[in-house]
Chain A
Amino acid sequence: DVKVTQSSRYLVKRTGEKVFLECVQDMDHENMFWYRQDPGLGLRLIYFSYDVKMKEKGDIPEGYSVSREKKERFSLILESASTNQTSMYLCASSSRFQGLQAFFGQGTRLTVV
């Protein structure tokens, strides 16, 4: 089974802090994604990556950056956390060899105070 693991289930950070959310997948998938989920707004794509060191902006990239130095790991970085980044963050991976079927991690609920 594909396993996508996010580093934290719950996280509380202070405004202005630099925050790293880590995601690791164990199925050699070339594609990885970061979404955020907010009540009434659904799931929105922040960034995705289709290869090591490659990244593409999603629908709401402002205030975020990403890093993909190794194929299995995709990091989401909040350079200076703000309260409007309080949200549920979901990481996913997929592969064209599996029909681009997406597999999700357990989610990280981030609160910025």
Chain B
Amino acid sequence: GIQVEQSPPDLILQEGANSTLRCNFSDSVNNLQWFHQNPWGQLINLFYIPSGTKQNGRLSATTVATERYSLLYISSSQTTDSGVYFCAIISSGGYQKVTFGTGTKLQVIP
């Protein structure tokens, strides 16, 4: 099956710093999403981005489907950004199944 790898696995930032999270995948995709898992465990949709670039406030994401990677940018990080960030994909031949990456655990310290 398709492989989804995220880096770095762990990240500690000082409040106000910027960061880039990466998601590599091994096959062509129909769908790519970024999620933030909050401390209570809920997965919050950040971006639906099978290709191109999108921005939402301090967050933006870029997917280069031909090169099989996606990047999530967090600017001016805040303590509320802490949590785990997941990349999730549906491969072109993968029916409707969503495959998750291993996640990046972000801690933003004051």
Residues of A within 8 A of B (CB): 31, 33, 37, 42-43, 45, 48, 50, 56, 58, 88, 90, 92, 94, 96, 99-107, 109
B61 interface contact, C-beta 8 A? no
**Size category of the binding interface on chain B:** 20 to 34
Residues of B within 8 A of A (CB): 30-31, 33, 35, 40-43, 45, 48, 50, 86, 88, 90, 95-98, 100-103
Q: When the two chains form their complex, are residues A43 and B40 in contact, meaning their CB atoms are under 8 A apart?
A: no
- Nearest to B50 among chain A residues (CB) is A99
What's the least CB distance linking B102 to chain A, in Å? 5
Q: When the two chains form their complex, are residues B96 and A90 in contact, meaning their CB atoms are under 8 A apart?
A: no
Taking CB atoms, residues of chain B closer than 8 Å to A109 are 41
A-B contact pairs, 27 of them (CB 8 A): A31-B96, A33-B97, A37-B41, A42-B102, A45-B97, A48-B96, A50-B95, A58-B97, A88-B41, A90-B41, A90-B43, A92-B98, A100-B30, A100-B90, A100-B96, A100-B98, A101-B45, A102-B33, A102-B45, A102-B98, A104-B35, A104-B42, A104-B43, A105-B42, A106-B41, A106-B42, A107-B42
